[in-house]
Chains A and B, each alone.
Chain A
Amino acid sequence: MKVELFKNAVPVFLTICMIVLFGALPILIVGTEIHFSAYVIETKNLILSLIQPYEITYFITKPERPLFPEIFNPYLYSMSIYFLAFFLSILLGLLLSFVTINFFSKSAKRFISFIVFVLESLPDLFIVVMIQMGVVWFFKKTGILVMPFTSLPDERSYFIPIIALSILPTVQFFKMFMLSLEEEVQMDYVVFARAKGMPFIEILPFHVYRNTLMSIFYQSKSILWMMLSNLLVLEYILNMNGFTSFIFTYLSPELFVVGLIMLLLPTYLLLLVFKIFIKKLNNEEVVL
């Protein structure tokens, strides 16, 4: 058990080390010169400030303010949008693939795969901008403001950011589900179950989806990291005052390191829970 725990902690530890090393990098290269001793000192300082996070401050101009109770407000906001969008996109991908594989004809599926291809190739920037324009257009037509354009600390919008963030992941999850479902449906056990007289709709959720879990895990790994940079763009364009825009505004080596670690840990924990879940349900090992 202890070995297991250690194994799971290795990648996150490595990543934290790497973040610290990157955090000090602007000190290392100044122009064409390389200041190695300054780099070592900066790295040491960063590690020291990680040990005492309550002493980290942020500022644009003086006076400096302590980072720590302050940062949790935008942090919780951003994280809730991030995770809600993630779960929403898994759910939507699951539902859409269920509907598509059960009720759509072959030509309809080909059309859908074309749409998926186009949607998948759109940059996140374009999608967010289009949604922003859609909100404006909707407001002009009907007079209903779906989302305020500047957010105050007390009234924060959730609906539009979550939708905007979950479009690309939904498409990717949907594609992933379809690919692994189509592979899985041709397996012997599905044919056997159908031959026994089980309706297809019954086989799907309890047997087929369960076997797609592993590929979904690997997919969600890369999707989660993609969503992090999408979140950045989203917060910038929609003026959301979230965590990533906080890091951007007050960017300093300490804030960079602390911010990235704070983004990393919950994502990592989610993946760990997912991993244990797969182990319990399917007895399959996945690599974090």
Chain B
Amino acid sequence: MKTFFVRNFYILLGSSFIVGVLLASCINGVFFDGEIKQTQAIYVDAYPVDAAPFKPSQSFWLGTDTNGRHLLHVIIEGAKYTIGLGLLIAIFRMFFSFVLGTIYALYLQKYQRVLSAISNAFQYIPVVLLAYFLLRPVLNQAFEGFQYSFATRVWYEIILLILLALPTVSLVIGNEISIILRKEFIHSAKTLGASSFFILRKHVIVHIYRRLLIIFTQQVIQVLLILAHLGLFELYLGGTKIDYSIMKAAPITTTYEWSGLIGDYFDLFIVYPWIPLVPIGAFTLTILSLNLIVKGLEKNMNSEPATQTKRLKQKEIKKVALKEFNFKVVTRD
């Protein structure tokens, strides 16, 4: 147990932060209806003595924004959307990349040079600029109102963020798979009559799932980074409401989703620096703990070459072998 804890200390630390924040967020959403504490002014004897925004203090842990919403509460409420979205997009990215990578490793090895050249060329385009360029016409509210419904906007953004990573990630996974496929035991499995699907299920996945986990975590980080950047440039998940009236209210987000918060609060940076710093800090902590998980996974991968399932099997084999060889010595006189 102790060795397990030490070995996985990084993973434990990182994932406990993320799971904790997600749990708190869900509890807040389910049991308290996503309610957010708000203190617009402090009264002493019915006279207001101080008004929002408040600096971080004992009664307001992370301070409040200009409307008096407690930022700690806001961050926790928004966590499930942002982290959930990051996980969702990364899962889809991994799934499609795995499918494409498998196809590439099994059938498209002939075109390896062409495909890697295309994927390489794709790397040279800065993702944030590309995402901004493709998302802006859909997400921004035009003068006459939104062109597309809320669901369309959300799905468009999700699909685009998935597609943008596919060329690179599927090539990485495809290369990993093709390295395994070239090993000798695959040849012997094929000679014994294993189908491609069987080989994939029984041999390839066992060998690369640790690597896949690492790539997955890195993808979550990438998605979060892109979301933070898009939020900074005021493209929010589900669309940016732009006020075209004379009052010109700042663009607003409705879900307290972190990237939207960055965009919302960023104008206040010079006056109340702690307000935009809170969502940015939330992103930073999340990415830091995800990186901790990556580090732990990498350590795990280097320290333990044989996989868990294989080890179990070897134990079983030993048991069987012991049983078989446990014969009595009979002496013949």
Chain A residues near B (Cβ < 8 Å): 10-11, 14-15, 17-19, 22-23, 25-26, 31-32, 117-118, 120-123, 125-126, 129, 132-133, 136, 149, 222, 225, 228-229, 232-233, 236-237, 244, 247-248, 251, 256, 260, 263-264, 267-268
Contacts and interface: CB of A to CB of B under 8 A. Distances in A.
B134 A22 contact: yes
Nearest to A17: B121
B234 to A, nearest CB: 10
Which of A10, A121, A225, A248 has the most B CB atoms < 10 Å from its CB?
A: A121
Contact of A256 (B124, B133, B152, B225): B133
A251 B134 CA distance: 11
Contacts of B283: 123, 125-126
13 contacts: A11-B121, A11-B124, A117-B291, A121-B287, A123-B283, A125-B262, A126-B283, A129-B276, A228-B129, A236-B233, A256-B133, A260-B125, A264-B124
B148 A31 contact: yes
A15 B125 contact: yes
A269 to B, nearest CB: 13
B147 A126 contact: no
4 closest residue pairs by CB, A with B: A14-B121, A121-B291, A15-B121, A229-B126
A32 B232 CA distance: 27
Interface of B: 117-118, 120-130, 132-134, 136-137, 147-148, 152, 225, 228-229, 232-233, 262, 269-270, 273, 276-277, 280-281, 283-284, 287-288, 291, 295
Contacts of A118: 288
Given A118-B288, A121-B287, A233 B129 contact: no
Nearest to A120: B291
Given A123-B228, A229-B229, A236-B233, A129 B126 contact: no
A237 B276 CA distance: 12
B267 to A, nearest CB: 12
B133 A236 contact: no
A161 B233 CA distance: 19
A267 B126 CA distance: 12
B126 to A, nearest CB: 4
A224 to B, nearest CB: 9
A229 B225 CA distance: 11
Which of A122, A149, A229 has the most B CB atoms < 10 Å from its CB?
A: A229
Contacts of A129: 269, 276-277, 280
Contact of A229 (B129, B269, B291, B295): B129
A101 to B, nearest CB: 22
B128 A232 contact: yes
A267 B118 CA distance: 18
Nearest to B231: A125
Nearest to B279: A125
A260 B129 contact: yes
Nearest to B224: A123
Contact of A126 (B130, B134, B281): B281
Which of A125, A149, A225, A268 has the most B CB atoms < 10 Å from its CB?
A: A125
Contact of A18 (B121, B132, B281): B121
Contacts of A267: 124
Given A11-B124, A121-B288, A126-B281, 4 more contacts: A26-B133, A125-B229, A232-B129, A260-B126
A260 B129 CA distance: 9
A262 to B, nearest CB: 12
Given A123-B228, A229-B229, A117 B295 contact: yes
A123 B225 contact: yes
